[in-house]
Amino acid sequence: MLGNSPTVAQSAMRGIACRCPRCGRGKLYGGFLTLRPNCEACGLDYAFIDSGDGPAVFIIMIAGAIVVACALIVEVKYQPPLWLHAVLWLPLILATTLLPLRAMKSLLIALQFHHNAAEGRPIDRRPR
Ligand SMILES: [Zn+2]
């Protein structure tokens, strides 16, 4: 696999599988969201990785839409007591935020690697 560059879909699948963005074999994480220092299979240094707040923002937008929509539907249809809302939505909030977080962070890292994205840097425009 080394040598020929992967397609966006291949990179995305490596991301969702939480694997190294370059070789797709080594593990990306050492802990729940803690990255390993480098790939155990191909030796890629993970220091370039900068996913920032991206994964959390995507998760908040998606989970917020799901939970709020569910809560509104249940409230309009059944008007349950507030304690029942808490019992219903707290686990749903945990499930819709914590479960996809690893894969979302890894996906954004894989796409960052695929597109060679990095902080902006000045271009040398002097004539040679
Ligand atoms: Zn690797």
Closest alpha carbon to 101 in 65, 51, 66: 51
CA of 44 to the centre of ligand 1 (A): 5
pLDDT in tens, 46-104: 998 988 888 999 999 999 999 999 999 999 999 999 999 999 999 999 999 999 999 99
CA of 30 to the centre of ligand 1 (A): 14
| pLDDT in the model for residue 1 | 45
CA of 52 to the centre of ligand 1 (A): 21
pLDDT in tens, 4-61: 788 999 999 999 999 999 999 999 999 999 999 999 999 999 998 988 888 999 999 9
Phi, psi of 111 (to 5 degrees): -70, -35
CA of 124 to the centre of ligand 1 (A): 32
**What is the token pair recorded at 83?**
């304690």
**What is the token pair recorded at 80?**
């349950």
Kindly state the percentage of the chain with pLDDT values over 90: 77
| pLDDT in the model for residue 100 | 92
Q: Classify 35 as helix, strand or coil.
A: strand
In sequence order, the β-bridge partners of residue 45 are: 38
> How far is residue 48 from each of residues 39, 105, 117, measured CA to CA in Å?
12, 14, 10
CA of 62 to the centre of ligand 1 (A): 30
CA of 2 to the centre of ligand 1 (A): 9
| pLDDT in the model for residue 117 | 84
Average pLDDT, the chain: 90
Closest alpha carbon to 12 in 110, 121, 116: 110
Could you give the CA distance from residue 100 to residue 55 in angstroms, rounded to a whole number?
Answer: 9
Number of C-beta neighbours around residue 51 at 10 A: 18
Total-model pTM: 0.80
